[in-house]
């Protein structure tokens, strides 16, 4: 037996209610005519159906009154309401992802946050690229149409140069997402971890936190060790000094640590492929379907949240943990 559409909706509503209760002591803002969890479900639904334009979503709702009823809405929200609510969802999704990452450990080893991995993946902006020589001086060539001016340039070993955005993902050893930052491509890995530090040290409290060489930061390694968190990185460029030598010996000679470092790629890198497949983007540079940082943040965060709910359902229904075909079929 596999989860159906209603099962996923019930799971989303259940977890969002628990999330809202955890935030009950803080001001959640004025009650919405269209509840946050309903908007989440709707936009996840639209993302799976590959309906990205707000006007098209508005028309789809008008043509499917049964869907409006299923969402619990008395009226169809205007397309400007959909656009405004979509842009405002990112911080809610980001906190919900962190909540699920923190509270789902009870489901077993697959959702444990004992060992965490960190990585960044680039996604190409929708539309043409803005060459750096023009971008630096704010010059948009006359024939360049539909340009995403928020995007920036960055380079990775796999993607090459990409004009777009980046996901900074923290996941566990099984690939279950725990923390998320979405920024323009140039935003650094170290800065993303700076933002996540409080949640990592005081909420998730892993034994190890593993990243590639970009995450090697001697001061952070020492500070986190005081909190009982071992920051594991190759330290390829940190070679001089007795602390560097001691650290390099440690990651090579400690069998468990060396194994965590070796397994990092298979633990987190395939997760970005799952996110891209849920998003519906193909190609090496994974072009997005939204423009502008406010839209792109929600766009990418929804895919990560969808992956979390897919994995949670897989755990409950005893389906292979990284299977995404069930949730795709349910929302199709």
Q: Where are the domains of the chain?
A: 109-291
Contact predicate 163/151, CB 8 Å: yes
* Helices 90-103, 36-49: crossing angle, 10 deg rounding: 100
pLDDT tens column, 12-23: 999 999 999 998
pLDDT tens column, 192-201: 999 999 999 9
Taking alpha carbons only, the member of 149, 97, 129 closest to residue 275 is 97
pLDDT class of 1 with cuts at 50, 70, 90? confident
**Looking at residue 203, what is its pLDDT?**
96
- The arithmetic mean of pLDDT across residues 113-121, rounded, is 96
The DSSP letter of residue 46 is H
**Looking at residue 156, what is its pLDDT?**
85
Q: Does the pTM of the predicted model rise above 0.75?
A: yes
Residue 268 token pair: 């987190």
Rounded Cα distance between 1 and 213, Å, is 43
| 289 has a pLDDT exceeding 80 | yes
- The arithmetic mean of pLDDT across residues 70-93, rounded, is 97
Rounded Cα distance between 288 and 282, Å, is 9
- The arithmetic mean of pLDDT across residues 212-231, rounded, is 95
What's the 3-state SS for 81-97? HHHHHHHHCHHHHHHHH
**Looking at residue 28, what is its pLDDT?**
52
Rounded Cα distance between 116 and 181, Å, is 15
**Looking at residue 36, what is its pLDDT?**
95
pLDDT class of 331 with cuts at 50, 70, 90? very high
pLDDT tens column, 157-210: 777 999 999 999 999 999 999 999 999 999 999 999 999 999 999 999 999 999
- Say what the alpha-carbon torsion angle 150, 155, 159, 164 is, to the nearest 10 degrees: 0
Rounded Cα distance between 114 and 160, Å, is 33
| 29 has a pLDDT exceeding 60 | no
**Looking at residue 247, what is its pLDDT?**
94
In what helix (H) or strand (E) does residue 163 lie, and over which residues does it extend?
strand 160-172
Contact predicate 79/54, CB 8 Å: yes
Residue 149 token pair: 């001016």
pLDDT class of 30 with cuts at 50, 70, 90? low
The least confident of 26-30, 88-92, 263-267 is 26-30
């Amino acid at each position: 037996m596999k989860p159906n559409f209603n099962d996923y909706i019930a799971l989303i509503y259940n977890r969002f209610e628990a999330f809202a209760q955890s935030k009950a002591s803080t001001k959640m803002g004025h009650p919405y005519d269209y509840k946050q969890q309903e908007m989440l479900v709707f936009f996840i639904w639209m993302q799976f159906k590959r309906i990205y334009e707000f006007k098209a979503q508005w028309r789809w709702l008008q043509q499917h009154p049964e869907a409006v009823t299923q969402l619990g809405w008395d009226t169809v929200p205007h397309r400007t309401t959909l656009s405004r609510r979509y842009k405002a969802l990112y911080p809610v999704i980001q906190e919900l992802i962190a909540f699920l990452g923190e509270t789902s450990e009870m489901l077993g080893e697959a959702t444990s946050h004992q060992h965490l991995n960190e990585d960044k993946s680039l996604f190409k902006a929708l539309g043409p690229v803005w060459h750096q020589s023009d971008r630096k001086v704010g010059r948009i060539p006359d024939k360049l149409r539909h340009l995403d001016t928020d995007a920036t340039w960055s380079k990775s070993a796999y993607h090459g140069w990409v004009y777009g955005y980046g996901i900074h993902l923290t996941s566990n050893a099984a690939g279950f997402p725990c923390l998320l930052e979405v920024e323009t491509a140039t935003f650094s890995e170290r800065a993303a971890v700076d933002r996540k530090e409080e949640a990592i040290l005081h909420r998730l409290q892993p034994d190890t936190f593993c990243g590639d060489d970009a995450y090697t930061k001697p001061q952070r390694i020492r500070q986190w060790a005081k909190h009982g968190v071992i920051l594991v990185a190759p330290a390829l460029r940190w070679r001089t000094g007795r602390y560097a030598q001691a650290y390099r010996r440690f990651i090579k000679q400690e069998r468990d640590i060396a194994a965590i470092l070796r397994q990092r790629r298979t633990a987190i890198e395939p997760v970005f492929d799952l996110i891209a497949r849920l998003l519906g983007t193909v190609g090496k540079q994974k072009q997005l379907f939204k423009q502008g940082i406010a839209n792109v943040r929600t766009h990418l965060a929804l895919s990560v949240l969808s992956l979390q709910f897919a994995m949670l359902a897989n755990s409950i229904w005893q389906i292979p943990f990284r299977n995404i075909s069930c949730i795709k079929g349910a929302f199709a």
